[in-house]
Amino acid sequence: MARHFQITADGGSRGNPGAAAYGAVVTENGKILAELYATIGIASNNVAEYSGLIAGLEHAHALDPEATIDVKMDSKLVVEQMSGRWQIKHPDMRELAKRAREAHPLSLVTFSWIPRDQNSHADRLANKALDGEVQEQAYVQKNFLHSRLISKEVPTTIYLIRHGETPLTPERRFSGSGGSNPGLTEKGREQARAVGRELAARQPEVLLVSPMQRTRDTAEEIGKFVEIAPIFDEDWIEASFGKWDGLTPDEVEEQFPEEFKAWVSDAWYPQGGGEPYAAVAERAGIALNKVAAEYPGQKVAIVTHNVVVKGAVCVALQTPIDSIFHVDVAPCSITTIKIWPSDGLMALMSMSERAEYSA
């Protein structure tokens, strides 16, 4: 299966034309794969910006020549020219655009403009090159969080809320998107009201809700404290558990012993013929990036499900997918993830925080 990359790129010239350099960041599902930066001699801002784009595309192509790529830049000129909406009149620009088109199949690349403050990572790399720092290692997967926390860039803050208790929750019965679709118990509604009071203090600006009944009920109770119209979104629906739906894990082990063994040892096993945990995690990662792109710098509350939250945590931490078996999420708890728009860096800020309620 072809991979999907994100590239942010920038370039600058001190003098325009003058000493110039580029910077580019290649990411995949929020994971930083490469930081690229170098000086290019005396050149204009536009040449430097194109050079950053080319460096990012060439690196992504080397990783997977069939990958789809989303390019985001704050250069309106480069985005519009590469998208084919603006003519390229300058011969130098035509040559650079040709190199960019040859770096990776253009049919697999989308271009979009972002404000300058959302492209700060690539801009910072270009300035590192201009300040004389030499790029020694392209692959970087270490601590970027420290610099984000002290930067002025405002991340998207996502509050992932597991729904409240249903009749199936106490026995931990499988309850997926293709099952009986239960609503909340009265205890579940009290849990939802408690999390609503907690959310009111955090002041989210957007409320996304899985369209299943238990998440609708949870959002209804939250709405008594947070005055935001819910947006129902299929991206956040629970996994399907197929023929296991409604059963306890012990019942599954008794009735389907070989399938149970396969499931507990492989996150890609389709439990009950449903959606594998690993596939849910991939889906959650895509949905997180979508939210960050659509609501940059905002606080977004999302009412969703156990496996979805577990998968999102694995994506944010960049852990092996089998680690999903080592994560548990309490009903009506809040898990907080921040995503920085400039490069999609994710950070898990808290997990499974439970609001106080009267049992």
> Are 153 and 334 in contact, with CB atoms under 8 Å apart?
no
- Strands 156-162 and 333-340, sheet pairing: antiparallel
CB environment 7-35: b (16+ within 10 A), e (fewer): bbbbbbbeeeeebbbbbbbbbbbbebbbb
Catalytic annotation on 133? no
CA distance 279 to 354: 27
Catalytic annotation on 238? yes
The Cα-based distances of 118 to 52, 79, 148, 151 in angstroms read 16, 15, 12, 12
Q: How far is CA 307 from the centre of its chain?
A: 16
User: Which residues does residue 4 pair with via DSSP β-bridges, in sequence order?
Assistant: 68
Q: Which of 35, 221, 238, 275 is catalytic?
A: 238
CA distance 60 to 55: 9
Q: What are the strands, taking DSSP E only, across the chain?
A: 4-14, 18-28, 31-43, 68-73, 109-113, 156-162, 206-209, 231-232, 299-304, 333-340, 345-354
> Are 319 and 285 in contact, with CB atoms under 8 Å apart?
no
> Are 200 and 252 in contact, with CB atoms under 8 Å apart?
no
Helix, strand, coil percentages in the chain from 3-state DSSP, rounded to 5:
40, 25, 35
Q: Describe the crossing of helices 91-103 and 45-63 by its angle, rounded to 10 degrees.
A: 10
Q: What is the largest CA-CA distance in the chain?
A: 74
Q: Which of 104, 121, 163, 305 is catalytic?
A: 163
Q: Compute how many other C-beta atoms are within 10 angstroms of the C-beta atom of residue 264.
A: 14
Cite the active site residues: 163, 238
